[in-house]
Amino acid sequence: MKFSTSSLAVVLGVAAAPALAGGLAMPVADPVAPAAPVAVAPVVAPSADWTGFYAGGQLGYGQSESDNLGFDEDGAIYGGQVGYNYDFGRFVMGGELSYVGTEIGDEDAGAEIDGVAAAKLRAGYDAGAFMPYVTAGYASAYTADEVAGDDQFDGYVYGAGVDYKVTENIVVGGEILQHEFEDLGDTENDLDATTAAARVSYQF
């Protein structure tokens, strides 16, 4: 059998058609892979280090009364404090010594509180730059005149306060205390005093 030139061309064209079709096919783009999730670090409140000694001063107001003695007076208070705190991480424990002079009383009537000394324990919560706390301990009141032959009376004190770190070393705060003095001079006379003071301390 003889093939003409035109027949050969037809055969070659049919054979080449699949190859050409494959070569002209549009490329298929790979699907875009989803972006990996970005981990977000949890927000952690800053924590200040409250460990160390401190010393400072305070200024405030006090009110004192004794039902049995008919004593009900108020006036300014002023004094200072020294102490030490230890920061356990979130909880702070410490001790403090303080003395405040007072203008509470009636000098003309001979009923006047000269000052109050205190030795207290403190338990606080480290909330970063803030530290709210509770406190309690021993207190001793000194009067200008004797009551039943004595001018110094022992009792106890308790209260609460908050400190704020303005800088790493400067601490400001406020404190409210309740003082209880019972059986003044071995009598049945009691004396109560409430004080509120603004404080500033330097932490070493």
What per-residue confidence (pLDDT) applies to 69?
67
What per-residue confidence (pLDDT) applies to 132?
98
CA distance 66 to 86: 38
For residues 164 and 173, the answer to whether their CB atoms sit within 8 Å is yes
**Beta bridge mates, 193:** 64, 179
What per-residue confidence (pLDDT) applies to 51?
97
What per-residue confidence (pLDDT) applies to 15?
47
Tell me how crowded residue 157 is: count the other CB atoms within 10 A of its CB: 24
Local structure of 20: helix, strand or coil: helix
Domains along the chain with CATH numbers = 52-203 (2.40.160.20)
CA distance 196 to 77: 9
- Give the residue with greater pLDDT, 189 vs 56: 56
| Ramachandran region, residue 24 (left: φ > 0; alpha: ψ -120 to 50; beta: rest) | alpha
* pTM for this predicted structure: 0.73
Look at residue 191 and tell me whether its pLDDT is greater than 90: no
CA distance 193 to 67: 12
For CA atoms 106, 97, 158, 168, give the dihedral sign.
positive
Give 37's pLDDT tier (boundaries 50, 70, 90): low
- Give the residue with greater pLDDT, 78 vs 43: 78
Give 96's pLDDT tier (boundaries 50, 70, 90): very high
Look at residue 84 and tell me whether its pLDDT is greater than 60: yes
The mean per-residue pLDDT over the stretch 176-204 comes to: 88
The answer to which of 29-43, 50-64, 134-148 has the lowest mean pLDDT is 29-43
The mean per-residue pLDDT over the stretch 111-122 comes to: 92
Look at residue 129 and tell me whether its pLDDT is greater than 50: yes
Give 91's pLDDT tier (boundaries 50, 70, 90): very high
